[in-house]
Chains A and B, each alone.
Chain A
Amino acid sequence: MTINKNLNGSELTLGLEGRLDTTTAPELETVIQNELSDVKELVFDFKNLEYISSAGLRVLLSAQKIMNKNGNMKIINVNDMITEIFEVTGFIDILTVE
């Protein structure tokens, strides 16, 4: 998986490519834990994300909890398969998906 970071003022866009699973989730977790202190708007771009596993959902949950305190978080360009995963797991209710 590759993470494309794009910081624009206080808005951070993270473009994810590939698979977000047990092996790659720690990479994203490091970014979330270390680079969100000054971020007010966090955007995940899932345009090139093929798959997300429960380990990946866990990181999204962490990010959402941090951003609930600091500002806003949204996820854009989510494909059908990942939308279904969000629906099944109930994440659709706590995440902002556009």
Chain B
Amino acid sequence: MFVFSLHKLINIIAIAGGISVCALCLMQITATTQLTKKVRNYFHVFFVSIILYISTHLAREILEGIPGSAVRKVLYSVTFIELIFAAMMALTISALLLFVSKIERSKTVRLLFFLNIVFLCHLLVLSVCQIFGVIYFFDDKNIYHRGQLYLLSNLCPLIMIIFDIVILGLKQKNLKKKVKTAFWVYLLAPAAALFVQSFSKDIQYIIFATIVASVYMFSVIVSNENEEFQKQKIASSRIDAELSMASSIQSDMLPSIFPAFPERKEFEIYASMTPAKEVGGDFYDFFLVDDDHLCMIMADVSGKGVPAALFMMASKIILANNAMMGKSPAKILEDTNKSVCSNNREKMFVTVWIGILEISTGKLTASNAGHLYPAIKDTDFGFDLFRDKHGLVIGGFAGAKYSEYELTLKPGDSIFVYTDGITEATNSNNQLFKTDRMIKALNQQPNAAPETTIKDVRSAVDLFVAGAEQFDDITMLCMKYKGKGQ
């Protein structure tokens, strides 16, 4: 027969309520996506531990005082489990505190190791004492009594509470005020309850206090994590917006309206750039220096992303300014190199191929600062690599000298320049596209208009990489010389 007194009833109702509250918290952990993985895991373990702790306590409340050897066995088991999970709760809270107080990784690992050792010792002590009944025991009427070594069962939670207090004291600066308060409430609430309980022994104030303080701490940490998440979201969306603006500023810097010179019948030009990230370090440029001279530039800045894009903008402007003064290609590179080297602490560099076409004669004067070989189409033989003489990249050494070369384009000849985004496009087997495949793609329709040529190469690259991620900017420029009267 169960005999319920009023205080037992209050305890049972409160514990049952506590179990449901903890279950609700568990559901909320699962539903809240903004939680850091670690915080989520710690709270999972923590609330499961509380549920086990208070339900074993509830079982003890109900069964205590009912005679019988079977009941006695159950009583011993549930009390054992209760003591284990009380320590488990303390362990997860200490681990959580280590995480939220942002202690360096290596220290955290060492401190966690210490906490786990304390917990293991606790398990060992409990198991040994369980056999001898020195921590607690049940008398003939199955009434609970503390044993001589009762304090041993509290040793592990006590060490962990002292640990928490030390961490809270030392790492104050790393914790927000409300998070700090929540931990203090959690640590002090049971002590306050213990004080109240000493006046009215029958009601389990400690358990109430623990549940209320846990839920409070949980809600504070969750709202704190939410805030951080929102802040990060705002920061990253600001960066996204800036990057997308930077990206359009950059692409607007490149001539991209085609046909570019509809009134010029002597040549046709087309170019494209696809950055691997929002902004890139590749660029092309073309413009008329005067009525009879077309300047073409293909360049690739070292590295990727924002640093490369900034350096690209500067190099593009310096190159164009030098070219517009009517200098020869080698002189343009030399002067650009001087300007770039004068303020280049980051040791950035850019490879440049520059060519100036004399439109009336087809004479092309070009110079190469560490850029890939151009591909030139001779009307009779199709496209082939033109192994021109190479100078050092722009930005390497202040005194670098560049040489230039001349060749004459016949009507129908083309020139194709590109960056390593083409030749080093990589498929899922880690194979590179390489120049051979590029030349083959160029020669699919050697007499096509520049736009078709560039699209042919692009689709050959796309077919080759077959969906593998684009690692580098892909940039191409193609100019077909038609000569006079074409």
Task: List chain A positions with a Cβ less than 8 A from chain B.
Answer: 22, 53-55, 57-58, 61-62, 65, 87-91, 93-94
Q: Give the distance in Å from the alpha carbon of A7 to the alpha carbon of B370 in the complex.
A: 33
Is B302 within 8 A of A58, CB to CB? yes
* Smallest CB-CB A-B distances: 7 pairs: A90-B392, A89-B370, A54-B302, A90-B370, A58-B302, A62-B347, A55-B303
Q: Give the distance in Å from the alpha carbon of A68 to the alpha carbon of B13 in the complex.
A: 81
Is B302 within 8 A of A94, CB to CB? no
Which B residues, 236 to 277, have Cβ-Cβ distances below 8 Å to chain A? Answer: none
Q: A22-B304, A55-B303, A61-B347 are in contact. Are A88 and B396 (CB under 8 A)?
A: no
- A residues near B366, Cβ cutoff 8 Å: none
Partner of A90, one of B300, B303, B369: B369
Task: List chain B positions with a Cβ less than 8 A from chain A.
Answer: 300-304, 347-349, 351, 369-373, 390-393, 396-397, 400, 420, 424
Q: Give the distance in Å from the alpha carbon of A54 to the alpha carbon of B373 in the complex.
A: 16
Q: Which one of A57, A61, A89 has the highest number of Cβ atoms from chain B below 10 Å of its Cβ?
A: A89
Q: Give the distance in Å from the alpha carbon of A91 to the alpha carbon of B390 in the complex.
A: 10
Is A90 within 8 A of B347, CB to CB? no
Is A91 within 8 A of B303, CB to CB? no
Is B392 within 8 A of A89, CB to CB? yes
Closest to B390 in A: A90
- A residues near B424, Cβ cutoff 8 Å: 53
Q: Which one of A54, A55, A58, A87 has the highest number of Cβ atoms from chain B below 10 Å of its Cβ?
A: A54
Closest to B348 in A: A58
Q: Give the distance in Å from the alpha carbon of A93 to the alpha carbon of B372 in the complex.
A: 16
- B residues near A89, Cβ cutoff 8 Å: 351, 370, 390, 392-393
- B residues near A54, Cβ cutoff 8 Å: 300-303, 349, 351, 420
- B residues near A62, Cβ cutoff 8 Å: 347
Is A61 within 8 A of B349, CB to CB? yes
Q: Give the distance in Å from the alpha carbon of A62 to the alpha carbon of B397 in the complex.
A: 11
Could you jot down 19 A-B contacts, CB within 8 Å?
A22-B303, A53-B424, A54-B351, A57-B302, A57-B349, A58-B302, A58-B303, A61-B396, A62-B347, A88-B372, A88-B373, A89-B351, A89-B370, A89-B390, A90-B393, A91-B370, A91-B392, A91-B396, A94-B397
Is A65 within 8 A of B392, CB to CB? no
